[in-house]
Amino acid sequence: MRKKILNSVKYFVFLAFGIALLILAFKGIDLESLWTDLKNADYRWVGLALVISLLSHIGRAARWKILIEPLGFNPRLSNTFYAVMIGYFANLAAPRLGEITRCGSLYKTDKIPFDSLIGTVIVERVIDMLSLILITFIVFFAKLNFFGSFLKEHVFIMLEKKFSDMFASVWQIGFIAAVFFLLSGLVWFLLKKFAHLTLIQKFKKIMRGVMEGFKSVYKMKRFTAFILYTFFIWSMYFLLTWVMFFSIPETSHLKPIDGLFMLVVGSLGMVAPVQGGMGAFHWIVSLGLTIYGIPREKGLVYATISHESQTIFIIVLGAISLLIIMLNQKNSYLSAKNKS
C-alpha cells in the first residue's frame, strides 16, 4: 500500500512538472492562431516522419537483440519490438518506467532473466548518451558561430555551472570522496554481515544479473552490426527531425545541418524528467528555432506537430504490442492446458 502511494505521488509530481513546463511554453501564445496553423500543416510529411520513426524503433529492437544474444538467449525480433514499444508506452505514464516495463515484457515472452535484461538496457542508455554527445560536438564545430551561442548558453554553461558548483573546492572533492568510500564500506559491511537475509540475497542476485547484462558488450559476437544499428537509429532520428521541417512553411527552408541541431535540442527536451518530454520538448524546441528568426509561436507549431504525432504513434503501437503479447500468452496458456 505504501509503495502504491509513493508511486502515485511520484507520478503526479512528474505530471505537475510537465504541465508547468507546458504552461511556460504556451504562455502568451494565441491558441486560436496556433490551432489554425496546426490544421493547415502538410501532414503528408508527418506521415513520412512516422514511417521513419517506425524504422528507428525496429532498429532499436534489432540492436537490443544483439545485446541479449551473449546472455544465451535468442528472442524473436517481433518480441523485442513489442517490448520496446510497450516500454515507450510506459514512459508516457512515468519517466524511466519504460526501461523496467520492456524488460518485464520480454521476460514474459522469452523467460530471459529480468536482472540481466536491466543490465543490457543500461548499456543501451550509455551508448545513446555517448552518441548524443558526439552529435552535439559535431553540430557545435560544424557551424561554431551560429550554433555555438545557443549550445554554449543552454547546454555547456549549464553543465559547467553544475559541475563547478559541485566541485567548487578541493575540500569539497575530498569530502565527497570520503563520503563515497565510507558509504561503499558501509554497504560492503552490511552485505557481509547480513548475507543470510532474503532481502540481501535478492539484492546480490539483482546486481549479479545487472553485471551479466554489462558483460554482454564484451561477449558480443556481432559488434559491427551493433555499431551499424546504432548509426542507423540516430540517422533515422535525424531524418525524422529534418523531414518534419517541411510540414509547415516557416521551417521548410531549414537545411540538413539544422535538422542535426534540432535533433540535439529536441533530445535534451526528451530526457527531462517528465512524461514523454511533455512541455520540456515544446519549450526548448521553440526556443531553439528562434535562432533562425522563427517566431516562438511558429516554433511551437513545429514542436507540437512533432511531439504529439510521435506520442499518438507510440500510444497506438504500444497498445497494439501489449494486446498482441496478451493474446499470445492467452493462446499459449490454452494450448498448454489442452495438451495436459
Q: What is the pLDDT of residue 162?
A: 47
Q: What is the pLDDT of residue 152?
A: 60
> pTM of the entire structure?
0.78
- 78 is written with which cell numbers? 517481433
Contacts of 172 (CB under 8 A, 6+ apart): 166
DSSP 245: G
Q: What is the pLDDT of residue 133?
A: 86
- Give 40-103 as a DSSP string: TS-HHHHHHHHHHHHHHHHHHHHHHHHHHGGGT----HHHHHHHHHHHHHHHTTSTTHHHHHHH
Q: What is the pLDDT of residue 46?
A: 95
Using CB atoms within 10 Å of the CB of residue 182, give its burial: 0 to 12 exposed, 13 to 18 middle, 19+ buried.
exposed
Q: What is the pLDDT of residue 330?
A: 76
Neighbours of 72 (CB within 10 A): 12
**Averages of pLDDT over each 10 residues, the chain, 340 residues:** 55 62 70 87 95 96 91 89 92 80 88 82 86 85 66 55 48 56 62 60 60 64 89 95 94 90 86 72 87 89 93 93 87 65
The model's pLDDT over 292-323, given as tens digits with 9 standing for 90+, comes to 889 888 989 999 999 999 999 999 999 999 99
